[in-house]
Chains A and B, each alone.
Chain A
Amino acid sequence: MDKRMTEDEVISRLESGMTIGIGGWAARRKPMSIVRAILRSDLTDLTIASYGGPDVGMLCASGKVSKLISAFVSDDSVPLEPHYRVARQTGTVTERPMDEGMFLLALQAAAWRVPFLPTRVGLGSDLFRDDPSLRTVTSPYPSPDGATGEELVAVQALHLDAAIVHLNRADERGNAAFFGPDLYFDDLLLEAATMGFVSCEKLLSTEQLAAEAPLHTRRTNRMFVTGVVEAPNGAHPTSCVPDHETDDAFLRTYAGSAKGDGAWDQFVADYLAGSEADYQKAVTS
């Protein structure tokens, strides 16, 4: 089945109030062309789950997010994400905090269709204060080192209505490959979601993908994919190595848009008001 679609066709599958997981990590390999399409849409009241970067910041600045599930939000070279901070400090977005590793377990539990996975992570921390839904579970088995009756954190499955990720290459059916140093958790996001959307730098035939992408880079496959979007430079301003690096100068411009006095409206007018093609033209001119 040919699953090629545009960013706006992805948006037509999404609804306000959904829980959406976004791939990548901080300012690395974010599916920004689809994020930009969400910014242009009338979607609202979203719950966003992300190892967050400018994806989260822009969605917060546009008023799309009511709830954030995250262990951090950072733009890497701009360590503190400016629009995330504004949203948190003005109380417009509530946050369900997580430890970085708990996030992985929550996705894995959803992918495996179990209600939770146990871990030591979170014990003793204020995650129990700041996430009242968090529970513990008593182990029915002794631990490998002999401890009995251990109380562990039960990380609840985080099921996503939709996952959006950006990879280096894909075919039209949704098989994809990552060429950078880290897949992050993009495979788990797709597996934890009802609908999975993959944007890619370049669309190839399955034969070309097989020839170009080493086997171990082809971690995600079409069983978990609803739609495929070809989006060259689609991760901009985040990195998608080796296709393109982070645009740190643009991230600084973006950070300036959190300074108030209409700076965000100006940023939207300069870069986000038009189509993805308009955006690409504006950032490469």
Chain B
Amino acid sequence: MAILEVRNLNIDYISVKGVDYSISDINFKLEESKAIGIIGESGCGKSTIAKCILNILPQNVYTQGEVLLDGVNILNISEKEMENIRGSQISMIFQEPMQALNPIRRIKNQFYDLLYTYKKINGKVKTHNLIVSRLEDVNLKDIDKILNSYPFELSGGMAQRVMIAMALIKNPRVLIADEPTSSIDAINRKEILNEIKNLKDLSVVIISHNLSEVYDMCDEILVMKDGVVVEQGYTKDIFQNPNHEYTKLLLQNEGISKKSYEKRVSC
């Protein structure tokens, strides 16, 4: 059974004028240890879907449909129950790592805040070991120094790695990565994507405006435009036989042809 299933999801941004913007009819299934990519231009509603899954949308949004986690609809459950799902079942990383860390608290303390209950039960030493092991998982070196520094002392790549470690510290089963590499240079981008890819037993939803980023990571792809999914299917099929004009345009603009895709997959 799929871990996460989105069924007929409709999201409307409403205001006094009426409906400002709507995202309609989103359907996808995320299987265990698989990855799904959501691709589209800026403002087409990719991040909104992610926020809707985690129930952190603003109040002027009207949602319809179902988001099933292990067959249970999590769209209508209480905030208290949602608190238990965030972090320990579904977690998310944002596009701006610098903004996603509290500027006035040391990294160490931000981890401790997150593990408040865990620390109470298991003590400080065990908590510290857990944090260190998670930071090692994302290939960070000089961990003591990082733990004692403030966010502004870290580079973008380091901060994003810290964010990934934070998102994964409670062992979630689903990770939503909302343009995780958009503010990071090319070399770090590749490394971070590889790190996300290599995380075991984790189902990933990757949101991106960059086709080449999800190229060899995702098993399935949704291409979105203006709040509608224009094309959906296995990565291979979409790259080899794009049906919709918009997908063709995307592939063309990024210089990805059928040939280059086959070459890349084969090596």
- Chain B binds chain A: no
Chain B contact residues, CB within 8 Å of chain A? none
